[in-house]
Structure 1
Amino acid sequence: MIRDDIKSATVAAMKAKDKERTATLRQISAKIKDRDIELRTSNKDIPDDELVTAVLQKMAKQRRESITMYVDGGREELADNERAELAIIEEFLPQMMSEEETRAAIAEIKASIGADSIKDMGRVMAELKARHGAEMDMSKASALVKNSF
């Protein structure tokens, strides 16, 4: 389980006295605990790895956006900090699909649900997220789906 990998990596980072890595891993653990607390009151039963992956993907997306803003603002040292955090977060994310694999998945889903116009984009995206949500960058997939019609 990804959660266990994060815990063991945190212990290893603490033993190695790697303060930056330890801080980032603790941030990850805190976000996961926040999500656990949110789900206590809901009726949803999400598998643990799926929940952790969703939290990690959200954190990675936030870091990418921050990097872009810092670079645009000329704050390269802050962008470097975000890049370091992003690298640690991405260690625990599943391997993302390549562009070719994404295009193949889109074509397969379009064929299976009979999507033939841009009006079907929502259905295609919903099916993509259901089947490949953990291993696909949905923002890139959205552009590819739009261009495939």
Structure 2
Amino acid sequence: MSLLDVLNNDMKQAMKSKDKEKLNVIRMVKASLQNESIHLGKNNLTKDEELTILSRELKQRNDSLHEFEAAGREDLVKKLEAEINILQEYMPKQLSDDELEAIVQETIQEVQATSKKDMGKVMSAIMPKIKGRADGSKVNKIVISKLN
């Protein structure tokens, strides 16, 4: 079942249960998926493309969340936290810190990285492996710590 099918089913459920917040988030994600498929000129997006869009939506909300927290806008912080929780339902299971460190260590050995100069090679090799299952900034910190 594609993400669009899942979203359509969840949208029906949200309408029946009158869950306006979930309904709004689902509509935003569906619009992003449809815009991307129009932009790419495709009828159906691949799982990777869907995951990229979901990750982008989640990242935008996380960035906004940090901005609102810094500005002291608790009303908007709570709203964004709820949206983030809804979006995370559609994301793949996140990697634990141990799993992430193991993937980083394995990739460092694969690309034969020895110093921070090899950071780009390591990151470009890791990101496709963990797509949607870990935050890029978290991966970046682990790679830096391993390359020291």
**TM-score, normalising length: structure 1:** 0.91
Per-residue deviation, 1:47: 5.7
Residue number among 80, 95, 98 corresponding to 2:96 in the alignment? 98
Q: Is the 8 A contact 1:94 1:135 kept in 2?
A: yes
Matched residues in 2 for 1:59 and 1:31: separation? 8
Matched residues in 1 for 2:35 and 2:89: separation? 21
1:30 alignment partner AA:
A
Q: Note the 1:13-52 alignment, pairs <5 A.
A: 13-40=14-41, 48-52=46-50
Matched residues in 1 for 2:69 and 2:123: separation? 31
Per the alignment, residue 110 of structure 2 pairs with 112
CA RMSD of aligned residues (A): 1.6
1:13 alignment partner AA:
A
Q: Note the 1:1-149 alignment, pairs <5 A.
A: 1-40=2-41, 48-149=46-147
**TM-score, normalising length: structure 2:** 0.91
Per-residue deviation, 1:137: 1.3
How many residues matched? 145
Q: Which runs of 5+ in 2 are unaligned?
A: none
Q: Which runs of 5+ in 1 are unaligned?
A: none
Matched residues in 2 for 1:142 and 1:122: separation? 10
Matched residues in 2 for 1:113 and 1:61: separation? 28
Per-residue deviation, 1:134: 2.5
**Secondary structure in 1 matching 2:131:** helix
Matched residues in 2 for 1:94 and 1:108: separation? 21
2:130 alignment partner AA:
H
Q: Is the 8 A contact 2:37 2:45 kept in 1?
A: no
1:90 alignment partner AA:
Q
Q: Is the 8 A contact 1:6 1:29 kept in 2?
A: yes
CA shift digits 1:5-63 (9 cap, x unpaired): 1111111111112111111110110011111111118xxxx962211111111111111
Per-residue deviation, 1:123: 0.9
State the identity %: 29
Per-residue deviation, 1:3: 2.4
